[in-house]
Amino acid sequence: MRRAALLAAALALAAPVAMAQDAPRETVLKLAESAERRVRADELHASLRAEAQGSSVAAVQQAVNRAAQAALERARAVPGVTVATGGYHTWREGERLQTWRAMQEIRLSATEAAPALLDLVGELQAQGLALGGLTYRVSRPLERRTREELAAEALVALKTRAERLAGVLGLGFAGFREVRVDLPTREGGPLPRPMAAARADSAQPPAAEPEEVLLTATVEGEAILIRR
């Protein structure tokens, strides 16, 4: 009987120690932070079309070829303007499919040379090319630079918040177990707008004003909190 009582007393004394040993030494806190900034779109994009129609498919395509080649040569002569061609399409239309139509897309872009690009677009419109779209976008270098800056801001905010919440819980912040940095997203960016072709007797360039685009970066992390 005495031995049983001593054993029970020993187990009772050992229970708090066992519970303390079983208690978790660290707490994982999952949290996220974001940083955002509005940047002014700096890269102008224009899409034009050389078009022709007629009863002869050969004549129609030759007309498109000549117009596109002349536009490309003129565009290549403007410093700072990037030139590329898009799709080339030929089809028939009309009640009896008696009319041939053809078109080729020409894509132009510029950053520092955006004013010169606008003048070029006006010239090409006066030559008969149709303007299909004109819009400003955020260039890759500006977006990449902004991405790094936003990620750094979000990481600082993430660490600050982890330290603050650890104090609220009466724990200490030991560091991060894992951190994930997401790519920034765009909100409210400028969209291409359909543009009408200019009259052949007018070389007035179209108007274009860059908009501000909201870039956002989000970081997520698992903070390790420990007892003080």
69-111 pLDDT per residue, tens? 999 999 999 999 999 999 999 999 988 899 999 999 999 999 9
Q: Is the pTM of this model over 0.95?
A: no
Measure Cα distances from 27 to 85, 135, 159, 173 in Å.
58, 50, 16, 10
Instruction: Identify the structural domains of the chain with CATH numbers, from first to last.
Output: 43-138+189-211 (3.30.70)
Measured at the alpha carbon of residue 134, what is the angle toward residues 131 and 138, in degrees to the nearest 5?
Answer: 155
Residues 80, 62, 127, 49, CA torsion sign: negative
Are 131 and 47 within 8 A, CB to CB? yes
**Average pLDDT score, the chain:** 87
